Amino acid sequence: MPTSIHYKQFVHETVAGKIHIAALSLCSSLPSHALVKGNAPPLSKPKATSSNSDVKKKCTNVEECQELAMQQAEREQREALANVTPSLLTAGGTRYRDETVGDSSSLPITTNTAVTINYKVLKLGKRSYDGLSGEGTVVFSRGYGLEDDEDKAGSKSYSTIVGSPFNIIALNEALVGMRLGGIRRFVVLPQQGWQKPTKACDGGPGGRGSGGDLKTDYVVVPTATMVAQEACFDTSKQPFPTDYAKQRRMAQRFDQSLIMEVQVVKVGGDGLNGNVDGL
């Protein structure tokens, strides 16, 4: 029969032994979840294989990088064109796409109709694969609050008569068939825009002439080439920027294919060509 001191020592050793066994059991059956400082190692990246086309390949020299960039651009172009809404053609051959049809209860616009519009003239963006899509840089505008003389969107607009000889050809063609509130985007080739209709000048995109000495690489510099190029710039065609800086910008862009987006804000009125205050 153990004494009380021996009994207490016996119980203490027995309990300690069971705790030690339980601890060893837990340590052997459960994974370690110790917290340590630092970042977790990065996940391993899948290797590029013939069946894994989504994995980006790495280039090792300039030629390979250029080739991969061209392949990527071609893929993006194919994907973009596959998702683009097909464009339509006016009677005169201007390509357009309706962003908003407008008020179906209003009559379609016809030639000789007085209209008031907001517009933006844009140069093509990098992703404008079809010549209509994308949001390119605005060359000049009216009615969107982007010009220095516009306090806000709608404070100014442009009024004209459809078919006016003062308008660019593309605008006269694109306005036909639109309705009040409609928004239409269309292509402005140089010959349908601000380029003079002479054979010597008709050498840009969509042109039929040789262009001769007036055909440039679209880079305007203060040389004789710039003077010759501007001989083809028809500044009498409307709409036209009122700001000098925008006029100089147009002098660099008029012989390129541009995009114009118009919104019909009013049908009827006197239709005098020019900028008007907001309605």
Three-state SS letters, 183-221: EEEEEECHHHCCECCCCCCCCCCCCCCCCHHHCCCCCCC
Would you state the pLDDT for residue 99? Answer: 92
Residue 37 CB contacts under 8 Å (≥ 6 apart), including other chains:
none
Would you state the pLDDT for residue 225? Answer: 44
Would you state the pLDDT for residue 227? Answer: 41
Would you state the pLDDT for residue 14? Answer: 61
Computed from CA positions of residues 7, 10, 15, 18, in that sequence, does the dihedral angle turn out positive or negative? negative
Would you state the pLDDT for residue 154? Answer: 84
In contact, 239 and 188? CB cutoff 8 Å:
no
Would you state the pLDDT for residue 176? Answer: 97
**pLDDT < 50 regions, the chain:** 1, 29-30, 50-55, 210-227
Candidates 228, 193, 191, 234; CA nearest to 213 is: 228
Q: Report d(CA 15, CA 9) in Å as an integer.
A: 10
Q: In terms of DSSP H, where are the helices of the chain?
A: 4-29, 62-83, 169-175, 224-230, 244-253
Chain centre distance of CA 39: 39
Q: Tokens standing for 67?
A: 């080739």
- pTM for this one? 0.65
Q: Within the chain, what is the greatest distance between any pair of CA atoms?
A: 127
Chain centre distance of CA 96: 16
Q: Report d(CA 200, CA 205) in Å as an integer.
A: 14
- The phi and psi torsions of 96 (rounded to 5 degrees) equal -150, 165
Would you state the pLDDT for residue 55? Answer: 44
Would you state the pLDDT for residue 264? Answer: 97
Q: Report d(CA 155, CA 66) in Å as an integer.
A: 47
